[in-house]
Amino acid sequence: MEKYRSQKRLIRVAAAVIVNDEGQVLITRRPEGSHLGGLWEFPGGKIKDSETPQMALQREIKEELDVEVDVRQLLWREQFEYPEKRIDIFFYGCRLKSAAQQIKALEVDAFRWINPDQLDAFQFPPADEHFIARLKKGAFDLINGSGF
């Protein structure tokens, strides 16, 4: 089994846990027709070879939502295996650089600000499950930014 696993391509991914002043997190819905289309996620994307996870987040958030973020502390890192690939996902606490920025759904189907206790109402990719469980249990102080 280990030999089989090592043959799957590994993709590095960065996810932004963008928090507003009310402690809500921003989630986005993946476009239909994409991998895991229709599922909700924390915005972000693939990390290019020449990028750090923080650089990838700044680029991806600008491309997907047309806003700029301050990337803060790494909150969680997870490796997850899908049937066709493995991912190494980094979840970073983030804040919008300015609350006056207007979020636009450029490369996502939709976006919403939700309270962490509302996460169960949305379907997320399996790779997010462990992080979401910790987030719902209050492992991170979203209001004060403790941990990021």
Higher pLDDT, 5 or 17: 17
At 40, list the tokens: 């909700």
Q: pLDDT tens digits, residue range 89-134?
A: 999 999 999 989 999 999 999 999 999 999 999 999 999 999 999 8
| Binding site, annotated residues for Mg(2+) | 44, 64
Which residues are part of a known binding site? 30, 35, 41-44, 64
pLDDT of residue 147: 47
Stretch 79-86: mean pLDDT, rounded?
92
For domain 2-136, is the CATH number 3.90.79.10?
A: yes
Give the pLDDT confidence score for residue 30 in this predicted structure: 93
The rounded percent of the chain whose pLDDT value lies above 90 is: 73
- Tokens 């979020």 correspond to what residue? 103
Binding-site residues for 8-oxo-dGTP, in ranges, read 30, 35, 41-44
Residue 36 clears pLDDT 80, i.e. is over it: no
Could you please report the per-residue DSSP string of 56-125? Answer: HHHHHHHHHHS--EEEEEEEEEEEEE-SS-EEEEEEEEEEES-TTPPP--SSSSEEEEE-GGGGGGS---
Angstrom distance (rounded) from CA 77 to CA 130: 10
Alpha helices, DSSP H, located in the chain = 2-7, 53-65, 129-136
What is the token pair recorded at 135? 């987030």
Task: Name the average pLDDT for the chain.
Answer: 89
Q: What separation, in Å, do the N-terminal and C-terminal C-alpha atoms of the chain show? A: 37
pTM above 0.85, yes or no: yes
